[in-house]
Amino acid sequence: MYAIPADVGHAVWDLTQRVAVAMRAAYACEGTSTRQHNEPAGNQDVWHLHVHVFPRFLGYRLYEQHRAARWVCADERAPFAAKLAGALGLGRTFR
């Protein structure tokens, strides 16, 4: 994050925007949230850059509810991945 070249940072942000727009279309969500973490205080063990993009719905308290969340298996995630891939124009199929 701290040393990423500006052109690469812009490319990351452009992709983040593309995913957020596709996510809003695919999931009919009312908004999106993004997160990015750095260094041990940000719960990062391996130095790399990635951005989380979350669909948001009114009344859903993302930051409070994640503590009780369970890991969702790939088969349950596949329909959501397929919807997002379609909105991104990727045409991929998932399990």
Q: Is residue 94 part of a domain?
A: no
pLDDT of residue 16: 97
Radius of gyration of the chain (CA): 15
Lookup: tokens for 8:
């690469």
Q: Is residue 38 part of a domain?
A: yes
Domain of residue 35: give its range: 6-87
Q: Is residue 1 part of a domain?
A: no
In tens, the pLDDT along 53-89 reads 999 999 887 777 656 667 889 999 999 999 999 999 9
Give the CATH number of the domain where residue 39 resides.
Answer: 3.30.428.10
Cα distances (angstroms) measured from residue 20 to each of 26, 28, 46: 10, 11, 25
pTM: 0.82
Q: Is residue 29 part of a domain?
A: yes
Q: Is residue 46 part of a domain?
A: yes
Q: How confident is the model at residue 95 (pLDDT cuts 50, 70, 90)?
A: low
Q: Are 24 and 31 in contact (CB under 8 A)?
A: yes
Continuous segment of H or E residues that includes residue 33:
strand 31-35
Q: Are 24 and 32 in contact (CB under 8 A)?
A: yes
Q: Is residue 92 part of a domain?
A: no
Q: Report how many domains make up the chain.
A: 1
In tens, the pLDDT along 4-42 reads 999 999 999 999 999 999 999 999 999 999 999 888 888
